[in-house]
A = this chain, B = another copy of it.
């Protein structure tokens, strides 16, 4: 009898697995989070830092494993991994990776929403979801016409065509854009065009936050303070008048959730839910510059935004799908260094108060300006005698000269000479390896600060390591396993009931 029942159950099992998949409720609200340049090393380093910041030790498993010291993304129940290479590179760029996520195709680095011949344009899952009646939101901490956000609305042969990209953005009809500004040279006229197209453009914290109570249907929310290339400042540099990525996500949810009926566009009266893409774009920029604390700060900011989505998920658990991943690793970041071996010292990162970028634009710029006239290139090694510069290293990075070993001091002296004398020619083999085009003294400071914490870097570019994926919600199991980045678009399309097989060629003329 028992054997019979077992057989009966086994038979049911096979049937039911198929049936439940087919009958499972399709998620109405879909969040897609992309940590640009974020892979396992960035995540682990951030958790080790968080553990230390929360008063624990990054060397104690019991502290590292505490829930409060784990990122929201790490705690999602479903985990997968994706290969990131693009059509013709082991190290993808954000344009081809974004296109893989958005359109489900492999393309060349630099190309957005088109194939590698740069002749065929493809629809993004955001566009397809919009056609199905979903409201669409796009958030990025870098400019909204940058490669990753652009992949969800634009088709251009080159990511550098910012004006074309921004014009395509203005024509999307998407409901929410927020984060950084527009880097396009014609940003002003494009914004005017957006207003003509029905968008409200908000540029201050108060008005943007007001959307949470009084949402509008088409808005462009640009943080008041932008740092570089129309991007939000690094999270560790954020002025209080700006919104964090988490706050912007809250505003986006409020804006996307309330849907007013539209008599002209029939489908809009049905509440089909939303698709919201949130990019932590400056994780990548911090990694390019090999600045661990700027990386960690933006990873935390990004993960806080995941936390906002999780809060929403708890209200609509059967209707909300959250997928979190990175588009590639940047910097060849590692959680270990030759100088520290088996020891980790994340407390050494606690006193960095600015990103490499803010330091370069402020303290460093002032220091160089004030000292360049008296600087004697023929007699190098002037750093040790510059109490001002040693003071800046201490006050901005928490890096104490006396704590450094001779080899570290030597490298800082050497880099300081290069920076003061303006010898930063990135075509020489030595400079290319040591500084990668960044200001020699600044990148050497972050290298040494990072290695002292036990964090290493091997590149100023993207690398080809696979990237983890985390997911929760109905259909989250689609994102388990080891697959290609193009599969993410395909699975999200299925999750949103875009039944056609991706990729889908754009038939209309590109805008």
Point out residues on A near B: beta carbons under 8 Å. Answer: 6, 9-10, 12-13, 16, 19-20, 23, 39-41, 43-44, 48, 58-62, 64-65, 74, 76-81, 83, 85-91, 93, 106, 109, 329, 332-339, 341-344, 405-408, 428-430, 432-433, 436, 454, 456-466, 468, 470, 480-482, 484
Contact = CB atoms under 8 A, between A and B. Distances in A.
Contacts of A458: 332, 334, 336-338, 456-458
A43 B465 CA distance: 9
A462 B13 contact: no
B13 A339 contact: no
A459 B83 contact: no
22 contacts: A13-B16, A13-B20, A61-B85, A61-B484, A64-B83, A76-B482, A79-B79, A81-B81, A91-B344, A329-B336, A332-B456, A333-B334, A334-B465, A335-B464, A336-B459, A336-B463, A336-B464, A338-B459, A338-B461, A344-B464, A407-B430, A480-B480
B484 A468 contact: no
Contacts of A465: 40-41, 44, 334-336
Given A13-B20, A43-B466, A480-B481, 15 more contacts: A9-B16, A12-B16, A59-B88, A78-B481, A79-B81, A91-B454, A329-B336, A334-B458, A336-B458, A336-B463, A337-B458, A338-B461, A344-B464, A407-B428, A408-B429
A406 to B, nearest CB: 6
Nearest to A407: B429
A53 to B, nearest CB: 15
B482 A74 contact: yes
A459 B341 contact: yes
A90 B344 contact: yes
A409 B76 CA distance: 48
Given A405-B429, A457-B458, A342 B40 contact: no
B468 A482 contact: yes
Contact of A334 (B20, B332, B484): B332
